Amino acid sequence: MSRWVRHAVASLALVAHCGTVLARADGPVSYVREIAPIFTQSCLGCHHPGKQKGGLDLSTYAGVMKGGKHGSVLVPGKPAESHLLESIQGADATMPKNGDPLSAAECARIERWIRGGAPDDSPAVATEVQSPPTYSAAPVITTLAYAPDGQTLAVAGFHEVLLLSSTNQQITARLVGAAPRIEAFEYSPNGHQLAVAAGAPGVFGEIQIWDTATARAQHTYRVAFDSVYGVHWSPDGTRVAFGCADKTARVLRVEDGRELVKFDQHSDWVFGAVFVKNGQQIVSGSRDKSLKLIDATTGALLDILNRDSEPIQCLARHPREEWVLFGSEVRPRLYRAVAKADNIDPNADPNAVREFEHFDQGITAVAFSADGKWLAATGSPAGEVRIHEVATSQRKATLRGHAGLVFGLSFSPDGTRLATAGYEGTVRIFDWAKEQRVAQFVPVPIVAAASAK
């Protein structure tokens, strides 16, 4: 089960959803697929948990039903008594405030949904925070990361991120959220927060912000109706950038979840976005093969940095230089993240800095050491991890012994250790320069199947 295959399965689920919508044109209206997208598109800018104009949060079914500061805005089965409908319909529509009115078709769909009793088909997975999951076998580990102080190793589980002491591997906290699948996470520059990109493919994607000292969720923002990937902090720790299976790259304000940028000029899934130029710009990488430079304030496309090569599957920012590296289906490629001069030969690839060794069937993860000297990359052949010197692209070490693909790579802050994990559900720590494994463990508590509740 490669990352690519898992994505492919998710996209099939999407196609199935669209089919359902068509087939049911006369049946009950789906809140998740037909109503919530209208609110997301036209209303959430002013009606989300961080900004509840009129006291109204339209980002969840529960919020819609709760209503605003004047009480309920929707009465199931009774469109005429539903203030929400009145606010969007007809010549004296007031919502979206100062924005383009909804189309007649959208209003009719909302009316039909209310008339039909405003049914809730939000998926069961989208429930609130649960108690820590129990495991009867080691789960696939999609990502891991050392904290900036090197004391803690964060590891993705199912529905949760586990924080472990990096010295004795004991669990110090379990960050359990509603989203079953953790796709990516990153510590804030000061290490006080962890931003997690998680979701359920084809259903929802969310960004969770955790306080790492108290292990409490500070914010959970539902941001899309599909998986989100590759979350990255701005250098000042106020914003995060990420990619999404709905082909967008986005920037979110951490404090209130406000969407500052929604960039929609990719034609395929966006697997990551990173800040460059001291937070003024972002670079997004997509399966559409392009690496795009975007203004982080206006969302304007500034340049396409690469010449199309291969679908981009993962992304990392060089910690010192204005460089972005991506892993493709073929090899890691390093690019300068600066807009190109005009009048350049369209066949030239002037921003290419360097490329690294070829992998047979694609790259699943890349990571830089904190000083930017070393690059770790992994992919197929299954689970081989290679460490290259960034300056020369020479391979310096090869770490073997993984059964199956590796999805998570992280250097310890001092650069001497590399932690790896993936399909097997086992974390390994290497003294990479010596190609020696110094620890190996399953990060989650395993409950014997017979005694599991």
Residues that bind ligand HEC (CB under 6 A): 42-43, 45-47, 53-56, 67-70, 73, 83-84, 87-88, 94-99, 102
Q: Which is nearer to ligand HEC, 79 or 408 (CB)?
A: 79
Q: Which is nearer to ligand HEC, 14 or 93 (CB)?
A: 93
CA trace torsion 124, 125, 131, 134 (10° rounding): 110
Amino acid at 161: V
Q: Which is nearer to ligand HEC, 109 or 307 (CB)?
A: 109
**In whole angstroms, how close is the CB of 92 to ligand HEC at the nearest point?**
12
**In whole angstroms, how close is the CB of 39 to ligand HEC at the nearest point?**
6
CB 55 within 8 A of CB 69: yes
**In whole angstroms, how close is the CB of 409 to ligand HEC at the nearest point?**
41
Q: Which is nearer to ligand HEC, 45 or 415 (CB)?
A: 45
Q: Which is nearer to ligand HEC, 71 or 346 (CB)?
A: 71
Tokens standing for residue 71: 């009480």
Nearest residue (beta carbon) to ligand HEC:
68
CA distances (Å), origin 61, targets 94, 118, 122, 261, 415: 22, 10, 7, 24, 46
**In whole angstroms, how close is the CB of 32 to ligand HEC at the nearest point?**
17
Q: How far apart are CA 403 and CA 394, in angstroms?
A: 25
Q: Which is nearer to ligand HEC, 102 or 385 (CB)?
A: 102
Q: In sequence order, which residues have a C-beta less than 8 Å from that of residue 342 and are 6 or more positions away?
A: none
Q: Which long-range contacts (CB under 8 A, 24 or more apart) does 102-111 make?
A: 102/38, 102/42, 106/38, 109/29, 109/34, 109/35, 109/38, 110/35, 110/38, 110/84, 110/85, 111/79, 111/85
**In whole angstroms, how close is the CB of 106 to ligand HEC at the nearest point?**
8
**In whole angstroms, how close is the CB of 223 to ligand HEC at the nearest point?**
17
**In whole angstroms, how close is the CB of 252 to ligand HEC at the nearest point?**
17
In 3D space, the residue among 429, 411, 228 whose CA is nearest the CA of residue 319 turns out to be 411
Q: Which is nearer to ligand HEC, 36 or 84 (CB)?
A: 84
CA trace torsion 198, 159, 36, 297 (10° rounding): -20
**In whole angstroms, how close is the CB of 353 to ligand HEC at the nearest point?**
43
Q: How far apart are CA 129 and CA 118, in angstroms?
A: 25
Q: 302: exposed, middle or buried (C-beta count within 10 Å: 0-12, 13-18, 19+)?
A: middle
Count Cβ atoms below 10 Å from residue 211 Cβ, excluding itself.
Answer: 14
**In whole angstroms, how close is the CB of 71 to ligand HEC at the nearest point?**
6
Q: Which is nearer to ligand HEC, 47 or 159 (CB)?
A: 47
CB 39 within 8 A of CB 73: no
**In whole angstroms, how close is the CB of 166 to ligand HEC at the nearest point?**
45
Q: Which is nearer to ligand HEC, 87 or 188 (CB)?
A: 87
Q: Which is nearer to ligand HEC, 36 or 43 (CB)?
A: 43
**In whole angstroms, how close is the CB of 66 to ligand HEC at the nearest point?**
10
Q: Which is nearer to ligand HEC, 102 or 337 (CB)?
A: 102
Amino acid at 431: D
Q: 236: exposed, middle or buried (C-beta count within 10 Å: 0-12, 13-18, 19+)?
A: exposed
CA 225 to chain centre: 12
Q: Which is nearer to ligand HEC, 101 or 372 (CB)?
A: 101
**In whole angstroms, how close is the CB of 56 to ligand HEC at the nearest point?**
5
Q: Which long-range contacts (CB under 8 A, 24 or more apart) does 76-81 make?
A: 76/114, 76/117, 76/118, 77/114, 77/115, 77/116, 77/117, 77/118, 78/114, 79/111, 79/114, 79/115
